Structure 1
Amino acid sequence: MIEQDLSLSLQAQVLQAIANATPLNIIGGNSKAFYGSPSTATERLELGGHTGIIAYEPSELVITARSGTPLHAVETLLTEHGQMLAFEPPHFSPHATLGGTIACGFSGPRRPFTGSVRDFMLGCRIINGHGQVLRFGGQVIKNVAGFDVSRLMVGALGQLGVLLDVSLRVLPKPEAEITLCYPATGAQSALDLMQRWQNQPWPLSALCFIDDAIRVRLSGAEAAIQAAAQKLGGEIDSQGTHFWQALREQQLPFFQGAQSLWRISQPPATPPLDLSGDWLLDWGGAQRWLKSSEPAARIHAIAQENLGHAVCFRGYDKTDWLRLEPGLVALHQKIRYAFDPYGLFNPLP
């Protein structure tokens, strides 16, 4: 695999940007450029060429790679050794990179059962807003120095620094998987069933409700998933693998259309929200996708009233895509100032 360390070149570009007071738009594979408000920076900092696996020890369940490494290359290598990125990240494009995956913090259907991106982050190396190269965390699970700082980079959209390389914990692929399809009439009925199932000691790895049907993925030892499948009932979905991939990559028919797409995070037992539109319930009800023309202010308000929050994931108007509580806004500003005092990286309107 091509290995190219552009750290010094990238650092030089950051130092030049500081000297010229020129904000930078950090670009990897550009597969998730639709997410969030567009950066106001006109100068690009390209990381797509900063590629390569730095270290991989299958027996240690740890991989370290440069941020521009294609996500599919990382997953292919892990598959060859019977391992996986357990948070099941979406790609949204063949050009998705590892750094962009970390910066956006997206996780797929397996997330509530194995953990989020942040849970698997062991360490990273970044360039901060002073042009310094800093390392946090480590490349082994037992090394926890700087652990929490490296996790701050997950979902930060590049605003805390330029990710140079990342160390992640990986997991073995399950021995077997099966998807069951179970009829459910209405969202409340589906939520009740999904809550009941999640309270059982079954090897669940995905749980979704769409089109009056609940799909349940079971993963683990063959005997365990067969025993659980017998107790759950329902029909075996022979296209289950394709369904979960299409859900992860937002290729299901549900995700098509011109309406804005909202991601609403709620406690999984929260009753259906009083918002018009089309719904898909993922993560056993903890992540809810809504296609709606409702005003952004109403969607944010109702989500917050129900102890959740809403994000406009895709849409034409991104002026009100995310709302944070005042206390969180102040904390975010303090953290960002500590890492990027000049507001250099991916500044937003």
Structure 2
Amino acid sequence: MDSTLASIADRVRAAAADQTPLRIRGGGTKDFHGLALHGEVLDTRGLSGIVSYEPSELVVTVRAGTPLAELEAVLAGNGQCLPFEPPHFARGPEDAATVGGMVAAGLSGPARASVGAVRDYLLGVTLLNGRAELLTFGGQVMKNVAGYDVSRLMAGAWGTLGLLTEISLKVLPIAPAEATLRFECNQADALRKLHAWGGQPLPLNASCWVQDGSAGAGTLYVRLRGAVAAVEAACRTMGGTRMDNATVAPDWAACREQTLPWFAARATQPGHALWRLSVPATAPVLALPDGAQPLVEWHGALRWVQAPESVGEELRKAAQAVGGSASVFIASSACASSASGGFDHASRAVGQIHARLRQSFDPAGIFNPGRMERGG
């Protein structure tokens, strides 16, 4: 155990003995999400650096405090990537997002519906639990688990189960071909197109339907990635208007980072929160409160809505009616330095499982207390 890790372990051990809450923090780029940010800050950025990288094996092991941009640059230099496109949410001039924060948040970008989520590429983790014990789960190959895959529990746990110190990830080659098609259509037609294409052998990678302002029916953007022949054949059969890759790339990045004009419009709507509705991809147009026009991603499975928190029950009922759920992603009062989002547990049983896991990993309850309570 190196000196940085030993110092962190000593601090965790002391906090557990004194019942002192600790707020685990890397770059802090996702501080806007979650119900509470309190406790002494425990900075992970000292745990930085790529431990091992085997491009031919498609595996990288990296310390949790490593800047995410640094890892992505190294991968790109070898023609590889994190295919789930993790958002950085770096609002300032410096991109402070870390690899540990990426895993802890468990958030994926536009390609998630086609390529999988963060947890699907998580091979193994090393972490400090609430007793300051250094534990290792998983490894550096896909078939390394006998029994329950504990490492994947860390994706989306928001640091409540332990402090990640080292992470092993599966990476993939950058697709040899890419194209974006644009279709002018309303939301219902967009969903029908996406549902139809989903049943065909097409190299679908990402999609986004959006209506900017009140004029026009809306626009559906579909990104294709894969073999050159497959992408070219899909462009010929799907129709639409093919866009220039260099021109549209910043728009896909803005979709991932939630900086599109649709997201920015929330600043002009005082009292509006950003809601995240997770539904089956085959769900129809939802019955939403008046004036709530969604932005649709993940081939229909993710619907972003801007609306007051007072209509939360209405949004939850609309999502639950089609087998989904709704939660506040950014509260109306949230800013870059105040956490105010909320989590929506699917059932009381799921909440009880969460509580038992936390009791096992962090019996003193010192890690990010309150962060994942149900809210919104």
What value does the CA root-mean-square deviation take over the aligned residues?
1.6
- CA distances 1:47-92 after superposition (whole Å, capped 9, x unpaired): 0121000010001100110110000000000000000001110111
Identical-pair percentage: 43
Deviation at 1:189, TM superposition (A): 1.4
Aligned to 1:286: 301
Alignment of 1:98-137 (within 5 A): 98-137=99-138
Counterpart in the other structure of 2:352: 330
How far is 1:154 from its partner?
A: 0.3
Kindly report which structure 2 residues correspond to 1:174-253, keeping only aligned pairs within 5 A, or say none: 174-184=175-185, 186-211=186-211, 212-238=218-244, 239-253=247-261
Match of residue 283 from structure 2: 270
**In 2 relative to 1, CA 320–203 (structure 1 residues): closer, same or farther, beyond 3 Å?**
closer
Q: How many residues align?
A: 344
Give the letter for the 2:36 counterpart: P
CA contact (8 A) 1:138 1:145 kept: no
AA aligned to 2:249 is: T
User: TM-score, normalising length from structure 1?
Assistant: 0.95
Using the TM superposition, give the Cα deviation of residue 10 of structure 1 relative to its aligned residue in structure 2, in angstroms. 1.0
Counterpart mapping for 1:32-181 below 5 A = 32-41=30-39, 43-93=40-90, 94-145=95-146, 148-181=149-182
- CA distance, structure 2, for counterparts of residue 253 and residue 150 of structure 1: 37
Q: What is the alpha-carbon distance in structure 2 between the residues aligned to residue 297 and residue 36 of structure 1?
A: 19
What is the TM-score with the length of structure 2 in the denominator?
Answer: 0.88
Q: Which runs of 5 or more structure 2 residues have no equivalent in the other structure?
A: 212-217, 334-338
Structure 2 Cα separation of the partners of residues 272 and 124 of structure 1: 40
SS of 1:194 mapped into structure 2: helix
Whole-Å Cα distance in 2 between the matches of residues 61 and 301 of structure 1? 42
**SS of 2:254's equivalent?**
helix
Q: Distance in 1 between matches of 2:187 and 2:155?
A: 31
Corresponding residue to 2:23 among 25, 50, 59: 25
Q: Retained in 1: the 8 A contact 2:330–2:340?
A: no
- Three-state SS of the structure 1 residue aligned to 2:149 is helix
Distance 2:163 2:125 in 1: 10
Say whether residues 1:306 and 2:322 are aligned partners: yes
The residue identity in structure 2 corresponding to 1:202 is L
Q: Is the 8 A contact 2:176 2:227 kept in 1?
A: yes
Residue in structure 1 matched with residue 336 of structure 2 by the alignment = none
- Partner of 1:278: helix, strand, or coil? coil
SS at match of 2:231: helix
Alignment partner of 2:141: what SS?
Answer: coil
- Cα 1:108–1:320 shift into 2, 3 Å: closer
1:21 to 1:208, Cα distance in 2 relative to 1, 3 A: same
**2:3, 2:60 → 1: CA distance?**
17
Bigger relative contact order, structure 1 or 2 (CA pairs below 8 A, ≥6 apart): 2
The farther-off stretch of 328-337 and 236-245 is 236-245
Q: Give the whole-Å Cα distance in 1 for the aligned partners of 2:283 and 2:230.
A: 30
